[in-house]
A and B are shown apart, each in its own frame.
Chain A
Amino acid sequence: MSTETVEPTYELTVNGVVRPVAGAHQGDSLLHVLRDRLGLPGAKNACEQGECGSCSVLVDGVLVCACLELAEAAVGCAITTVEGLAPAGAEPGDAALASDVLTDVQQAMVEAGGVQCGFCTPGFVVAIHDLLDRVPEPSPLDVREALAGNLCRCTGYGRILAAVDQVVAVRSRSNGD
């Protein structure tokens, strides 16, 4: 019988690194485990209901809310957090902790004024990376629809949209469009 019973102590693969999880409580969300067990507090806890996107991560390359993922059920999945985003060609791991190189999305967010208090920022960075990886030249309405799951209370979104435009422009120029 191949049904697996996942023990309370388990391993999660985060940012390309297999990490043992100890001391988690039953029913802990992936968000709790990332923040409280694995020392990766980049994903944020603004609502823990899937209504704000501040905990956005990639699970097997798909954008989801970490607060809605049962940590134990994510064993064997490839999890990417904001800490694991790195410019193309970088080593796997927690790029944010290992080096100080920003991705183009991160760079654009700070340059364009898309960061005020910053609580929504990691979620937006992950969501924008996901969008532009799937749709390199999204229309303005595509961008709005793709980011509608990420709430921001400080910026009114104008500078965040400007940051996305900036990244798209630079990427398409460097692609020779």
Chain B
Amino acid sequence: MTDLQAPPSRGGSAGGRVGDSPIRPDGRPKVQGRFAFSSDLYAEGMLWGRTLRSPHPHARIVALDVGPALAIAGVSCVVTADDVPGAATYGLISADQPVFARDVVRYVGEPVAAVAADHPDTARQALDAIVVTYEPLPPLVDAEAAPDEPPIHPDGNVIRRIVVSHGDAEVTGDVVVEGTYEVGMQDQAFLGPESGLAVPDSEGGVDLWVATQWLHEDRDQVAACLGLAPEQVRLHLGGVGGAFGGREDVSMQVHACLLALASGHPVKMSYLRDESFLGHVHRHPARMRYRHHATWDGRLVKVEADLLLDGGAYASSSAAVVSNAARFACGPYRVPHAFIDALVVRTNNPPCGAMRGFGAVQVCFAHEAQMDRLAARLGLDPVELRLKNALGPGDVLPTGQVVTGTAPVAECVRAAVSYPLPPPAGDGVLERPGGAGRTDDPSRTRRGVGVAVGYKNLMYSEGFDDTSEARVRLAGGVATVSCAVAEVGQGFVTIAGQIARTVLGCEAVVLEPPDSAAMGSAGSSSASRQTWMSGGAVERACRLVADQVRSAYARRLGVAPEAVARADDGSLVLAAGGPSVTVAEAAGDEVFEASAVHRHRPTVPLDERGQGDADVSFVFAAHRAVVDVDPDLGLVRVVQITTGQDVGRVLNPTQVIGQIEGGIAQGVGLAVMEEIVMDAGLVRNPSFTDYLIPTVADAPEVLATCIEQPEPDAPFGAKGVGEPPTISSTAAVAAAIRAATGVDVTRVPVRPWDLV
């Protein structure tokens, strides 16, 4: 077990193998301000693109006149639905979302037109000049009502319903606890705005530099909308300023390409923050009704849950999110009987889709609240209740799937609660609830402690055949890795080098810039999958290169290939004895190259009862939160969060702790401050003024233990680490607030008036 309370920072040059914490290869340019984010790109003769968006959550477009915009000096072109040459709609799972709205707009911010002009200010004036005549329609904003309301889209108001039926519906427990829980709409709030640069070529095609999570998926959607062959649309990764799921959907990609092709000029688009809030999907708000049945001595018997997710106007990845919610609705426990009915519906609220945790966050808040409710009802310690029911390897999940990998749930819980509790807060105002506002009365402050544990899948599920491809070239002691992974900050660029150095024993590793034309798909930077899938592809390709080198080395030495062995550290040694050499050394001046595709073992769709081996692997984490609350004002200070996380194997200690601390901050945000506030389909707070994310003054102390039980099928035994920190941290903070105040907190984010 690795205790990562204070990981050593290893200075010096880039380098480092698996297990080290080398400086990330893009670290220097980033600290110098030289790293080119997609919003920093420029091209000679570049125009600026901007998008006209609907001010109404639901309206008919009666008339659209772009003439006045075209008349403005400096405006090059305006595009609308009429100018989309290929598919009029796109989407991650079903192509239900228009490039530009045609007869109807279905959410506030839906794109209606786009302009290209010589300056962003001219483009803004052009937008103001376009005349759109709307006939507002009543917006459908009540998710409960949506299935029974007239459809607001040809595909209907039910995006997906999924039922999980496992065991005997008639069984009951000695005790039953019920609750209804709500999670508000969180936003990924990545700092780098949606942005990119589209450059037309002279043959009707286009190059697009863009910040995204999956180059090839974007490429396919963009090409379809442009009516072009995939080879004519080349996507290059522009530097990405964070993603967290918010860049899985197309935002400005098609618009920028349309403008570039229409104008014949490079076109840059970069959203302002208010537009960004409208321009990407959010986390699904959820309402969840649960019933937990248990024996007197605290064994779970049955879990029943009705889950309702508001998918907003377009489907995005809602079908997958609701499935995740259903599959993980019971939490990481042995539940012999489970009946989950989960629905994601369409409304005129903003579209929702992927955000770190992907459905598991919402249900974790509910199932952990239920476990605490059950513990109280039974007079059992909440930690003991969890340990008593904790999943372990070999257990059966509510989908009927058996956990064949590692499942250190109990270890995670024990680790999270093993840390000493923090001392009472000092006198500094920032240490007290209310912060610099100095509202705190120390004689009133109450401290509370809460524990929660959660889990979800790694990689994609339900039969999606996910792959990743990498190519490695070894020449003159330098390994060049070509892999289309979208580096969004998570540090794949570091890991790729560590893997190459470990297998090939070289020092210098070069990563080619990700490019859809030059490389095969590496899949999405999501679902905590890249280390496993693309790290696996890089490792495979490196091993193929190593095998080629081994054969060539043997040939050079005049021995049979079998006479050259691979040592544990990857170096080559003559079986008969002699010096060992690294693969890179053995390669000499010869050039070696290999490509590899990494696949995970197949999964299957769920059947009509929600049963099936739908997932590849599972990952677990537990959190303990300590909060101080001002009970009279309802202000909360999150003091400390400790965690035990199932990581399989730590490949880069500094980067792992970075994911843990960053994910916990997002979990804290959802618990106490982050919510897109809606009012009849209008977004009330599309800015950092009023969509509050934690500042450094809000960040709790974080102490982390990494549970290292190598996952059998995973490259290096490593599980993805990005999502687990966000899954149960929110629930732990909520539990701590309940303990501090005695208030039955049933929604997050918790607002001050929920507590007073």
A and B touch in the complex (CB under 8 A): yes
How far apart sit A152 and B699, CA to CA, in the bound complex (Å)? 11
A58 → B minimal CB distance (Å): 13
**Could you tell me the distance in whole angstroms from the C-beta of B486 to the nearest C-beta in chain A?**
11
Contacts of A35 in B (CB 8 A): 40
Report the bound CA distance from A111 to B31 in whole Å.
11
Binds B, one of A5-13, A40-48, A70-78: A40-48
**Given that A44-B191, A46-B273 are contacting pairs, would A112 and B654 also be in contact in the complex, using a CB cutoff of 8 Å?**
yes
Q: Is A116 an interface residue (CB 8 A)?
A: yes
Q: Which of chain A's residues have a CB closer than 8 A to the CB of B33?
A: 40-43, 81-83, 96, 121-122, 125
Tell me the smallest distance from the CB of B493 to a CB of chain A, in Å: 11
The answer to whether B189 touches A153 (Cβ under 8 A) is yes
- C-alpha spacing A166/B37, complex, angstroms: 28
Asked whether, in the complex, the Cβ of A48 is within 8 Å of the Cβ of B272, the reply is yes
Tell me the smallest distance from the CB of B528 to a CB of chain A, in Å: 15
* Contact of B662 with A156 in the complex, beta carbons under 8 Å: yes
The CA of A81 and the CA of B34, in the complex, are separated in Å by 12
Q: Mark A142-156, 1 if CB is under 8 A from B, else 0.
A: 011101111111111
Among A45, A107, A158, contact of B193 (Cβ-Cβ < 8 Å): A45
A144, B430: Cβ atoms closer than 8 Å? yes
Residues of A within 8 Å of B36, CB to CB, are 41
Q: Which residues of chain A from 132 to 169 have any CB-CB distance to chain B below 8 Å in the complex?
A: 141, 143-145, 147-162, 166
Minimum Cβ distance to chain A for residue B246 (Å): 10
Q: Mark A49-87, 1 if CB is under 8 A from B, else 0.
A: 101101000000000000000000000000001110000
**Contact among B655, B666, B699 for A158, CB-based, below 8 A:** B699
Q: Residue-by-residue, is B695-713 near A (CB-CB < 8 Å gives 1, otherwise 0)?
A: 1110100100000000000
| Chain B interface helix/strand/loop/mixed | loop
Chain B CB within 10 A, most for which of A47, A112, A116, A141: A116
For the complex, give the distance between the alpha carbons of A48 and B195 in Å: 15
B192 touches A117 (CB 8 A): yes
Contacts of B1-56 to chain A: CB distance below 8 A: 6-7, 9-11, 21, 23-24, 26-28, 30-37, 39-40
- Decide: A157 near B696, CB < 8 A? Known: A119-B191, A151-B688: yes
Q: B665 contacts the other chain (Cβ, under 8 Å)?
A: yes
CA distance A158 to B9 in the complex (A): 13
CB B456 to nearest CB in A, in angstroms, measures 20
B693: which of A43, A144, A153, A155 is its contact (CB, 8 Å)? A153
- Chain A proximity mask over B661-695: 1 for CB below 8 Å, otherwise 0: 11111100000000000000000000111000111
Question: Smallest Cβ distance from A11 to chain B, in angstroms?
Answer: 21
**B650, chain A: closest CB distance, angstroms:** 13
Q: How near does chain B come to A96, taking the closest CB pair, in angstroms?
A: 4
B436 at the interface (CB under 8 A from A): yes
Residue B491 is within 8 A (CB to CB) of chain A in the complex: yes
Contact check, A119 vs B192: say whether CB atoms are below 8 A apart.
yes
Complex Cα distance, B272 from A148, in Å, reads 22
Q: CB distance A47 to B688 under 8 Å?
A: yes
* Chain B 435-454 interface 0/1 with A at a Cβ cutoff of 8 Å (1 = within): 01000000000000000000
CB of A127, distance to nearest CB on chain B (Å): 10
Given A145-B430, A158-B699, A115 and B24 touching (CB < 8 A)? yes
* Number of residues from B at the complex interface, CB < 8 A: 66
| In contact, A153 and B24 (Cβ under 8 angstroms) | no
Q: CA of A147 to CA of B695 in the docked complex: distance in angstroms?
A: 8
- Interface of A: prevailing SS: loop
Contact A51-B688, Cβ < 8 Å, known A106-B32, A148-B696, A160-B696:
yes
Q: Which residues of A lie under 8 Å from residue B192 when comparing CB positions? A: 44, 46, 117, 119
At the interface, yes or no: A25 with Cβ under 8 Å from chain B? yes
A residues in contact with B428, CB < 8 Å = 141
Q: Which of A96, A102, A116 contacts B662 (CB 8 A)?
A: A116
Choice from B189, B489, B688, B697 contacting A118 with Cβ under 8 Å: B489
Are the CB atoms of A46 and B241 closer together than 8 Å?
Answer: yes
Please pick, from A47, A116, A118, the residue contacting B273 in the complex, using a CB distance under 8 A: A47
Asked whether any CB of chain A lies closer than 8 Å to the CB of B240, the reply is yes
A90 to chain B, nearest CB (A): 13
- The answer for the CA separation of A106 and B241 in the assembled complex, in Å, is 18
Q: How far is it, in angstroms, between the C-alpha of A113 and the C-alpha of B697 when the chains are bound?
A: 19
Contact B665 A45 (CB under 8 A): no
Q: Which of B24, B241, B662, B664 contacts A119 (CB 8 A)?
A: B241
Minimum CB–CB distance for B469 against chain A, Å = 24
Given the contacts A25-B121, A49-B688, A117 and B240 also touching, CB distance less than 8 Å: yes
The complex places the Cα of A149 from the Cα of B436 at a distance, in Å, of 13
Q: A157 CA to B663 CA in the complex, in Å?
A: 11
B34 touches A42 (CB 8 A): yes
Residue from B35, B191, B664, B697 within 8 A of A156 (CB atoms) = B664
B300 within 8 Å of A (CB atoms)? no
Tell me the complex Cα distance, A83–B40, Å.
Answer: 14
Q: Which 5 A-B pairs have the closest CB atoms?
A: A42-B33, A117-B489, A118-B30, A156-B661, A119-B241
* Sample (11) of A-B pairs whose CB atoms are under 8 Å apart: A44-B191, A83-B33, A110-B28, A112-B654, A113-B655, A119-B37, A148-B697, A151-B695, A153-B188, A154-B658, A155-B661
